[in-house]
Structures are given as structure tokens and as C-alpha cells.
Amino acid sequence: MTQQESETPWYESSFELLETLVGDDQSAEIEAIRTKAHQDFLKIGLPKSKTEDWKYTDIRELRTRQFSLADKGVVSQVDDAARKSKTIADISELSLQTVDGFVANNLDALRALLPKGVILSTLREAFANRDSGLLELYREHFGQIATTENDFVVAFNTSFFQDVLIVHVPAGAQVEQPLYIQHIASGLQQSTATFPRILCVVEAGAKLALVEHFATLTSEGGFTASVTELVVGDNAEVSHYQLGLESDDHIRISRLASKQGRDARVRFHSSTFGGQLVRNEVCPTLTGVNGFTGLYGISVLSGNQHVDNHTVLDHSVPHCESDERYKGIYDGKSEGVFCGTIIVREDAQKTNAIQNNAAVLLSDRATVNTKPQLKIWADDVKCTHGATVGQLDQVQLFYLRSRGIGEKDARNLLLRAFAGEVTQEIELDALRSAIEQMVVDKLSL
Amino acid sequence: MTSDTETLENFTQQEYKYGFTVDIEADELPVGLNEEIIAALSAKKDEPKFMLDWRLKAYRKWLEMKSPTWAFVDFEEIDYQSIKYYSAPKKKPELKSLDQVDPKLLETYERLGIPLEEQKRLAGVAVDAVFDSVSIATTYKEELKNAGVIFCSISEAIKEHPELVKKYLGSVVPYTDNYFATLNSAVFSDGTFVYVPKGVKCPLELSTYFRINAQNTGQFERTLIIADEDSSVSYLEGCTAPMRDENQLHAAVVELVALKGAQIKYSTIQNWYPGDKEGKGGIYNFVTKRGVAEENAKISWTQVETGSAITWKYPSCILKGDNSVGEFYSVAITNNKQQADTGTKMIHIGKNTKSTIISKGISAGNAQNSYRGLVKVLRGADNARNFSQCDSMLMGDRCGAHTFPYIEVDNPTAQIEHEATTSKIGEDQLFYCNQRGISTEDAIGMIVHGFCKEVLNELPMEFALEARQLLAISLEGSVG
């Protein structure tokens, strides 16, 4: 390999290979979107160390390390048992898996469990079946909230996505069981790059809960850049849960983007326990009056892990409310970053926005960087943000210990309570108790 | 609520009350910036060679740098070649008393409301009045001399105390620091120098009034304050500027050195010409202020920023020694088309270091007001403690208030708290006052004053009154 070639990063050289790897049944329409996204991506490039939004998270490794695109052929090598080995019990019967970005289930079985009118499909299927209704939905919404211009994450995902999962909940439909999606990185190829993509349209008055669970089957490191677009209609209710449980050598960047109509209630919840470097980006926009957006996150890290919770909450209309709470517990040499922006546009009077970020450092080598930001152009608003960084309260520890509770138990009790303020926001009982247990397990390492 | 809106509008459409120019013959260098200009400037000031070398080093560095773009402000590019870098009033007599001062200058002071004689007797403040770039009159020098305090212009200090200047100039803000500080290092024309010897509590509040006068003269002030071990000093800085249409650049550098156990309190009232309602004219205020606190030392910044078209200013504390303390109290008021991006940096290096940040931003008209701050706790800074509070108030629906706090913590024993709120004057608060017979305008004044009280209380007595007046002038309307 000449010097010239070795300097071309993998994401430039492998774009040509994409077609054979994802299967050649994609349409020309998708190819045009990909090509446009790839051009945007190459134009934007990877964030540099001086890029303000990436100030505290260094992803140079994406350039220097050789990743290879996921091969559709690999999916069949992962059997059902392996695919489901990471499933958390009792969350939902509506459970499906993507393997290296490809939807692995037969969706027909799941469709039978869905209420009437609810659509669950892949874009590939929609094109194969020439499903005009679904394609129309796709054309109307895909790439509208998460645009590729000036946005490296979306452009990256859009130029390489393996499958697009489309969920459509028609007006008034109530999906009582959560839709539980596991993104499995198989680790069968070396350093695989996967790009899961979801488009979810929930019409007026409908209800849906979505769980995205990121897992790895082996300790082979990989890279994931996922994008999920949520279009939420008037008076609809959507909850989105994200759970990061990858191996210690995995890099992930996830983008959640949403817009919501009037009276809609949208809640995002991110839990991060695994991964080498995880960046959760949540970008909701309130586009209808009297809406509510909740943003919650818990991170428990140890070793050399790095998490970056990056939120941009955009109040563009009046009379909306938002509640944002992120908590982190950092041990070992781990690093926690929180960068939360609240934008209140000129017309968004009577906005009520609360943002809070708290971090506990358990070790003297852990680091926390926090950047809570308010950008406010309307005058009749109530916005507050608070950030705290510290260690466990010695007085509280002493109180517990003086009542005969051992040091370790006392510490865990306090940390559980600390995390509890965020985990209690999880409305799915099975998921909440699983996550609460993960907090405990991770801390008692 | 239309009457409220009207009142607010009137509030925000105030003209600058202190705008006028006085024609005084000035001794100037030609417009432009190059190595010859710097050499000529240095020669005019009779500086030793080390200063010229330092200026040239800075200038060469500056040529390689780019104007920063990260701040939340918007302005046309500055043409540095169209600025006069030196302008001194032509008559430069050696003065012992005020009688010798040019009567025209005295008249300017009268109109500004700072008669030197009054100041001398009433306030007990030594005033080192900077008229454009050269110190004209210095009072109370003798008294300070008895205490061993050196309080003079920096040009004088360069000549008479070169060892101190050589040791400390650029030790806190190096000539490579940032675009504007580097420019200042190359071309600073004058400024203030203070040295308080070991164990001395400075008997007076030191004060300098700055004023920009000659047209097209960028004012590049350089202030260096050194508080030796266990000494303490309080320094006051205040400014007004004449009205005119061209933007003027002010790129000052302030360095504070607080040695072991020393205390420095630095207070600023800034009321430079903010430009007219359309945002035309007004001062560009790009200031670098920083202090280093050694063991057990304390540095306290207090600022009331009401003027300038653009304020770009981050008075910072490097808490280097164990148990050192940093404080930052700020009120920033922006009106019409003013833009302010201001805040502080607290760098905790020593153990048991403490810092407090209280920032109040008030934004009216079409103004943009941003708080930008950094609290950094280094690995070795055990038990560091910070409390930050940034409150913003918005008046009118075309203005913006923004907060950009950065918190970087590398030590688990640190306790960091940050709080920010944004609000407007509540209709219920106004109604409460109105129904008790207080006019809307008075009520707004009261509420604003109450909002800023925590900061105003930190100002020295002499400034507290002026600050209150400034708040009123900045926000008071013609109604009522």
C-alpha cells in the first residue's frame, strides 16, 4: 500500500463497497440519498479537536482505526439463540433485533401482535413490495428532522445505513407493549461499522414506547452510528428508552431527533453502562403549543470509559414545558461529558424549561466536563439550569455508618438514591428494575 | 399591558448622556501599524530597550494570529491599519498642582462630573486620570509614597522600576495570550502600575478614570498590579467616553499578581459610548483581565458593565496557591443593539481553593447578553470549592440572554455548583408595586436594583453610588 492510500480513511474508501455489502436490492432513490449524504459527510468531515461541539470528546480514532462495513451475509451466521442472548426478560413480546445494522427478524410474526393499522417494516421491504402508502410516508418524513447538511452524525449514518426500520402508528392507535429493538453488534468481522436507522411516525392521539438496546456479542470492538427520527403528532405520547451495554472496546454515536405537535408528550431516557466511547445526542424540537419534553439520562462508568451526553432542546413555540435531568457516576479513569443546550426562540413565550446535571466522582482519576447552555430570545420565560459536581456527601455516609451500615453498603445506598432520581422516570417496570440492578452491579465491581 | 411595554420601550431608547468631545491639540503618530510605528511609540515614551524588544516580539506574534470568532458577538472586521496608535495631549507639563493643568481638560472633567479637587478632598481617592493615552495628573502620590505604595503610570514604572516591570509584565497575561492581548502588548501606550510592598495595607482606594478622546485613537491600556506578601489593595476603574459615530477599539490588558497572603480587589464601572439606537458607533471593548493568586491570597473582581457596543471580557483568577480565593461579581446591562459576551475563568490549581461567581445580566431592546465562564479543577486541587450563579433578566421580546458555562473537573473532592436562571420582570411584581402607588418606572428601577444587589454590594462605597446612577441611566426612560 502506498503512502497515499494508507492516508485515505476507511469511510472514504469503503463507500464504493457499500452496494455489495448491504445487498443490491436497494432502489435508485436510496442511492441518490446516500450519494448526497456522502458528499455532505465528506464536506463536513470528522469533527476536529477545535470543533466546539466535540471539545471534550475525541473521536480521532474513527479516522486512524480501520473499520469495515457490515456484511449482510454475516446476519445468517448469528442464530436465534445468540441474537436473543442479550435480551432483557419481560420487557415486551414486541421484540426485534438488528444484527450489524440489518433487521434480523421475520417481521410478520411481530406484525400479528401489533394493533390494527400499525405498520412495522423496513425500507427495503417497502421498495420490494412497491408499498406506495409506506413509501409516501418515508418520502414525507425521512431525513426531515435529521438533515445531512452541516451535521456529521446524520450524514455519516445516511450515507452508510444498512436498514431503515419504519414504524407508523396511525391516529389514535395505542401500542400498549413497548417496541423493544436490540441493536446487536455481532463482532464476527473485525472492527465492524454499523449504522442502524429508525424512522418512527406517531400520529395524533397515538401512543408508543420504544426501547433501543445497544449490545455486543463479543469483546471485538466496533463502531455504531445510529439515527432515530421521531415524528410525534398532536396530543400523542411517545417514550423512547436507550440503553447502552456494549463491550469496552466499542464506539457509539447515537442521534435521536424529534419534533412534536401540540399537546404532545415526548420523553427520552438514556442509560449508559457500557462502551469505550459513547455519545448520546438528543435533539428534540417543540413545534406545537402546550407540549412537554422530558430528557433523562443516567451514566455509570468505570475503567477508561467515556460518555458524552449531548442535548439540544429547541423551544420554538409558546407555552411548552421541558424537564431535563442527567446524572452520572464516574469511577476509575472514566470521563463524563454533559453538554446541554436549551434554545428558546423569539416566539416561544411562556416557556418553562428546567435543566439539571449532577455528577459524582468516585475516583481521583475520573473527570467530568459539563457545559449547560441557555440561548434565550424570548422574554417571558422561566428557564433554569443547574450543574453540580462532587463526591458523596461525607455527612450522609457518616449518618448511615453510625447506624451500623457498612461502608460499602452505605455508599451503594447513597449512589442508588442518587441514580434513582433519574431511573424513577422509566415508566416500564421491567426495564426500570433491570436498569436499577445494572447500577448496583456496575458499582459493586 | 401596553403601558408597560411603552415604558420598557422608553427605557430602552435612552440616548447616551455623557457624549461630547473636547478639542485638544494632540501629539500623535500617523495612522497605521507596523514595526516603525511601534519603534516610534517606544521612542516617544523613552522606553528601555527590553520593552521595545518585547513589543516587537508581540507584534510579530500578532501578525500570525487570527481574530477570535467564538464569542456570541457580531461586528464588522476591524481595520487595524486605520487606527492611530498614539495620541497624547500636546502640552505635557510636569505638574505638581491642578492649576497647571490645561483648563480645557479640567472642563472635561467637570462635565464628566469628576472634579479632581472634589475627588481629592471628599472621596479620599487618589485619582490617576488617564486622558487618552498619557497620565496628566496624579494626586495623593505623596501620601502613598509614605506607605511605600508605588502608584504611577506604567510608562513611569517602566522607567523608574524596570526590575518590577521586567519581572511581572506579561507574567499573568503573556504576550502570546490571545489576539487582543498580543496587540495590546505590542502597542500599549499607557496604563497604571501599582506595587504594594510586603505587609502594607494600602491606605487609599486607588482609582483611575479612563477616557477616550481624540478621534480614531484606539486606547490600549496596560494595568499591572502587584500586591506583595500579606499586603492588600483595592483598585477602582471607571470610564465614560464621548459620543461619535466611528467604532473605537479598546483592547486593554490587566494583570494582577497577589503574592502569598495578599488581597486584591479590582472594581470596574464601564460606561463607554454604546452606540446609538441603530447600533451605530460605540466602543469595542475587548479586554483581557487576569490575576494569579498565590498561597492564601485572594483576588476579587467586581464589574458593572453598562456601556460599549461590544463587550468581550473575562476577568479570570488563577488560583495557584493553596487556600487561595477567587471572586467574580458582575452586572452586565445591554440595551439597544449592544452585545456583551462576558464572564470569568476560575482555574483551581492549589489545594482548598475557593471561588465564587455571581453574574447578573440584563438585556433590553435588541441587545444580546451572554455569560461565558469556565470553572476548571485540576487533578491536584483537592477540596476545591466553587459556587456559580448566573441570572439573566430580559426586557422586551427582541433581546437575548445566553449562558455558556464550562465546568471541567479532574478531582473527586471538588464541590462545584452552578445555577442559572432566566426571567423577566413579572407582571405580578409590577402589579403589586403599581397597586401600592409606585409608578411602573420606579418599580422597574427597584426590581432591577434588587436583582443586581448582590453585586452592587460588593462595590466600594465611592463606586456604589455611581453604579446605582448608571443602572438608572441605562434603564430609565423618559416616562414619569
Residue A227, SS3 per DSSP: strand
Q: What is the pLDDT of residue B218?
A: 52
Last residue of a domain, one of A288, A311, A334: A288
Q: What is the pLDDT of residue B5?
A: 54
Residues of chain B with C-beta less than 8 angstroms from the C-beta of A387:
405, 407, 416-418
Mean pLDDT calculated for residue range B283-298: 93
Residues of chain A with C-beta less than 8 angstroms from the C-beta of B398:
346
CB contact under 8 A, B418 and A382: no
CB contact under 8 A, A367 and B410: yes
Mean pLDDT calculated for residue range B70-92: 72
Query: Which grid coordinates are listed for A193?
Result: 461499522
Q: What is the pLDDT of residue B478?
A: 24
Mean pLDDT calculated for residue range B170-181: 91
pLDDT tens digit string along A352-384?
A: 999 999 999 999 899 999 999 889 988 888 888
Count of C-beta atoms within a 10 Å radius of residue B399: 28
Q: What is the pLDDT of residue A232?
A: 97
Q: Are residues A269 and A138 in the same domain?
A: yes
Q: Are residues A259 and A398 in the same domain?
A: no
Per-range mean pLDDT, top range of A2-6, A52-56, A295-299, B60-64: A295-299
Last residue of a domain, one of A260, A288, A316: A288
Q: Does B413 touch chain A (CB under 8 A)?
A: yes
Residue A385 lies in a domain: no
Q: Tell me how far apart the alpha carbons of residues B307 and B133 are, in angstroms, rounded to a whole number.
A: 20
CB contact under 8 A, B408 and A384: no
Per-range mean pLDDT, top range of A21-30, A355-364, B199-208: A355-364
Amino acid at B384: A
Confidence band (pLDDT; 50, 70, 90) for B46?
A: confident
Residues in chain B: 480
pLDDT tens digit string along B435-453?
A: 999 988 788 878 888 888 8
Q: Does B394 touch chain A (CB under 8 A)?
A: yes
Mean pLDDT calculated for residue range B267-291: 82
Let me know: does A272 contact A246? Beta carbons within 8 Å. no
Count of C-beta atoms within a 10 Å radius of residue B38: 20
CB contact under 8 A, A385 and B419: yes
Which residue of chain B comes nearest to A329, CA vs CA? B412
Residue B281 has pLDDT above 60, yes or no: yes
Q: Does A346 touch chain B (CB under 8 A)?
A: yes
Q: Tell me how far apart the alpha carbons of residues A246 and B362 are, in angstroms, rounded to a whole number.
A: 46
Q: Does B66 touch chain A (CB under 8 A)?
A: no
Q: Smallest Cβ distance to B407: which of A377, A383, A387?
A: A387
Q: Does B9 touch chain A (CB under 8 A)?
A: no
Q: If you search the block for the grid coordinates 442472548, which residue do you land on?
A: A85
Q: What is the pLDDT of residue B66?
A: 87
CB contact under 8 A, A377 and B399: yes
Residue A433 lies in a domain: yes
Let me know: does A427 contact A209? Beta carbons within 8 Å. yes
Q: Tell me how far apart the alpha carbons of residues B478 and B480 are, in angstroms, rounded to a whole number.
A: 6
Q: Does A379 touch chain B (CB under 8 A)?
A: yes
Mean pLDDT calculated for residue range B140-149: 78
Q: What is the pLDDT of residue A79?
A: 86
- pTM, full prediction: 0.82
Residues of chain B with C-beta less than 8 angstroms from the C-beta of A370:
405-409, 418
CB contact under 8 A, A374 and B396: no
Cα distances (Å, whole numbers) of residue A130 to A30, A123, A126, A133, A396 = 14, 10, 6, 9, 63
CB contact under 8 A, A387 and B421: no
The nearest CA of chain B is from the CA of A143 a distance in Å of 29
Query: Which grid coordinates are listed for A317?
Result: 413555540
Q: Does B384 touch chain A (CB under 8 A)?
A: no
Residue B242 has pLDDT above 70, yes or no: no
Residue A133 lies in a domain: yes
Residue A326 lies in a domain: no
Q: What is the pLDDT of residue B435?
A: 94
- Looking at chain A, the whole-number percentage of residues with pLDDT higher than 90 is 66
- Looking at chain B, the whole-number percentage of residues with pLDDT higher than 90 is 31
Q: Tell me how far apart the alpha carbons of residues A193 and A224 are, in angstroms, rounded to a whole number.
A: 6
Which residue of chain B comes nearest to A334, CA vs CA? B410
Q: Tell me how far apart the alpha carbons of residues B188 and B130 are, in angstroms, rounded to a whole number.
A: 13
Count of C-beta atoms within a 10 Å radius of residue B342: 25
Let me know: does B401 contact A351? Beta carbons within 8 Å. no
Q: Tell me how far apart the alpha carbons of residues A334 and A311 are, in angstroms, rounded to a whole number.
A: 20
Residue A124 lies in a domain: yes
Residue B120 has pLDDT above 90, yes or no: no
Which residue of chain B comes nearest to A345, CA vs CA? B400
Q: What is the pLDDT of residue A221?
A: 86
Mean pLDDT calculated for residue range A169-177: 94
Residues of chain A with C-beta less than 8 angstroms from the C-beta of B396:
379
Q: What is the pLDDT of residue B118?
A: 44
Mean pLDDT calculated for residue range B174-180: 90
Closest CA to A245 of A268, A269, A266, A276: A276
Confidence band (pLDDT; 50, 70, 90) for B248?
A: confident
Q: In this structure, is the dihedral angle defined by the CA atoms of residues A120, A124, A130 and A136, taken in order, positive or negative?
A: positive
Confidence band (pLDDT; 50, 70, 90) for B465?
A: low
pLDDT tens digit string along B423-435?
A: 888 788 889 999 9
Let me know: does B85 contact B189? Beta carbons within 8 Å. yes
Interface test with B, best of A313, A376, A393 (most B CBs within 10 A): A376
H/E run at residue A346: none
Residue A2 has pLDDT above 50, yes or no: no
Interface test with A, best of B5, B394, B422, B423 (most A CBs within 10 A): B422
Q: Does A342 touch chain B (CB under 8 A)?
A: no
pLDDT tens digit string along A69-109?
A: 888 888 888 888 888 888 998 899 999 999 999 998 889 98
Q: Tell me how far apart the alpha carbons of residues B375 and B353 are, in angstroms, rounded to a whole number.
A: 12
Q: Does A371 touch chain B (CB under 8 A)?
A: yes
Residue A206 has pLDDT above 90, yes or no: yes
Let me know: does B480 contact B443? Beta carbons within 8 Å. no
Q: Quote the domain boundaries for residue A414.
A: 393-445
Q: What is the pLDDT of residue B103?
A: 61
Residue B247 has pLDDT above 60, yes or no: no
Residue A388 lies in a domain: no
Residue A381 lies in a domain: no
Q: Smallest Cβ distance to B405: which of A359, A366, A372?
A: A372
CB contact under 8 A, A376 and B412: no
Residue A42 lies in a domain: yes
Instruction: Tell me the Cα Rg of chain B.
Output: 22
The DSSP secondary-structure symbol of A74 reads G
Q: Does A393 touch chain B (CB under 8 A)?
A: no
Q: What is the pLDDT of residue B124?
A: 38
Q: What is the pLDDT of residue A351?
A: 92
Average pLDDT score over chain B: 79
Interface test with A, best of B355, B408, B413, B424 (most A CBs within 10 A): B408
The set of residues, in sequence order, having a beta carbon less than 8 Å from that of B352 and lying 6+ positions away, is B322, B323, B382, B383, B384
Residue A289 has pLDDT above 50, yes or no: yes
Q: Are residues A409 and A277 in the same domain?
A: no
Q: What is the pLDDT of residue B460?
A: 75
Q: Does A396 touch chain B (CB under 8 A)?
A: no
Residue B419 has pLDDT above 50, yes or no: yes
> Where would I find the beta strands (DSSP E) of B378-452?
385-395, 400-409, 415-424
Q: Is B289 exposed, middle or buried (0-12, 13-18, 19+ CB in 10 A)?
A: buried
pLDDT tens digit string along B391-411?
A: 988 887 788 888 899 999 999
pLDDT tens digit string along B312-370?
A: 999 999 999 999 999 999 999 888 888 899 999 999 999 999 999 999 998 888 888 99
Q: Is A226 exposed, middle or buried (0-12, 13-18, 19+ CB in 10 A)?
A: buried
Q: What angle do CA B73, B77, B78 make, to 5 degrees?
A: 110
Residue B469 has pLDDT above 90, yes or no: no
Q: Does B389 touch chain A (CB under 8 A)?
A: no
Confidence band (pLDDT; 50, 70, 90) for B476?
A: low
CB contact under 8 A, B399 and A374: no
Q: What is the pLDDT of residue B21?
A: 57
Confidence band (pLDDT; 50, 70, 90) for A24?
A: low
Q: Smallest Cβ distance to B416: which of A52, A371, A389?
A: A389
Q: Tell me how far apart the alpha carbons of residues A32 and A38 are, in angstroms, rounded to a whole number.
A: 10
Of A138-147, A216-225, B94-103, where does mean pLDDT reach its minimum?
A: B94-103
Number of domains composing chain A = 2
Query: Which grid coordinates are listed for A70?
Result: 457490515
Q: Is A408 exposed, middle or buried (0-12, 13-18, 19+ CB in 10 A)?
A: exposed
Last residue of a domain, one of A288, A305, A339: A288
- Say how many CB pairs under 8 Å bridge A and B: 117
Q: Tell me how far apart the alpha carbons of residues B78 and B67 are, in angstroms, rounded to a whole number.
A: 9
CB contact under 8 A, B410 and A52: no
Q: Are residues A46 and A168 in the same domain?
A: yes
Query: Which grid coordinates are listed for A228?
Result: 432515530
Q: Smallest Cβ distance to B412: which of A366, A379, A380?
A: A366
Closest CA to A181 of A156, A199, A193, A169: A199
Q: Tell me how far apart the alpha carbons of residues B429 and B144 are, in angstroms, rounded to a whole number.
A: 49
Q: What angle do CA A148, A149, A150 make, to 5 degrees?
A: 110
Residue B137 has pLDDT above 50, yes or no: no
Q: What is the pLDDT of residue A391?
A: 87
Here the ipTM equals: 0.77
CB contact under 8 A, A390 and B405: no
Q: Tell me how far apart the alpha carbons of residues A359 and A356 are, in angstroms, rounded to a whole number.
A: 10
Of B265-274, B307-316, B410-419, B469-478, where does mean pLDDT reach its minimum?
A: B469-478
Q: What is the pLDDT of residue A345?
A: 92
Q: Tell me how far apart the alpha carbons of residues B416 and B384 are, in angstroms, rounded to a whole number.
A: 8
Count of C-beta atoms within a 10 Å radius of residue B96: 9
Query: Which grid coordinates are listed for B249?
Result: 477599539
CB contact under 8 A, A385 and B418: yes
Q: Does B415 touch chain A (CB under 8 A)?
A: yes
Confidence band (pLDDT; 50, 70, 90) for B473?
A: low
Residue B215 has pLDDT above 50, yes or no: no
